[in-house]
Amino acid sequence: MLRVILLFFVVLLVSCQNEKKPSEEESQTTVSTEGVYVTVLPINTDTFNQQLIVNGKIHAIQKAELRFKTSNQLATVNVRNGEKVKHGRVIASLENELLKNEVQKAEIDVQKSENKLSEEKINYDSEKLPEKVLANLKVKSGVVESKNNLEKARIQYSQTFLKAPFTGVVANVEKK
């Protein structure tokens, strides 16, 4: 039994010897299997310098058609066709000096109405002022209306700017 095991290990060691590596020309072999001849070459790591020409169509993942919500004279266009823009960048703007002035006027009106509300609160104990009375005083002094006008003016002013809704490339810019 020991002889059989020893013989097995000797055969195993002999079969694991390094063989002589053939050169590149010798390593090319032709294998025939059922009438199909295949030539085999060794694989070498090297740079593959070949130009690939591919035809096809590109479709945008996101697309947005942008227009101003208000009409006014165009002041600036900050981008050109093919230019890359980031989300939120101002693409174009309208003339908005009057609307900017309206926002400032509305802010002043809010301050005036809040001052008037403070004067009205003097007649009441401000710590024990019920919510209904406070709400009525805000309406009476004009705080609610002036804040509403301020919000409206800010919305109108912000509509004079056209901003990029997402990061992408600008295409088909038309000016009128």
102-120 pLDDT, tens digit per residue, is 999 999 999 999 999 888 8
pLDDT of residue 40: 82
Task: Give whole-number Cα distances, 144 to 27, 68, 102, in Å.
Answer: 91, 29, 17
pLDDT of residue 175: 77
**66 three-state secondary structure:** coil
pLDDT of residue 85: 93
pLDDT of residue 105: 95
Closest CA to 163 of 102, 97, 78, 81: 78
Give the distance from CA 101 to its chain's centroid.
33
Residue 138 half-sphere exposure toward CB, CA atoms < 13 A: 14
Structure tokens at 52: 């690939």
Residue spans of the chain under pLDDT 70: 1-2, 4, 6-34, 125-126
pLDDT of residue 92: 92
CA distance 72 to 84: 26
- CA-based angle 136:141:135, to the nearest 5? 20
pLDDT of residue 11: 67
Closest CA to 159 of 101, 94, 63, 104: 94
Task: Give whole-number Cα distances, 132 to 14, 23, 121, 128, 175, in Å.
Answer: 103, 99, 13, 12, 53
Exposure string for 31-63, b = 16+ CB within 10 A, e = fewer: eeeeeeeeeeeeeeeeeeeeeeeeeeeeeeeee
The single-letter DSSP state of residue 123 is T
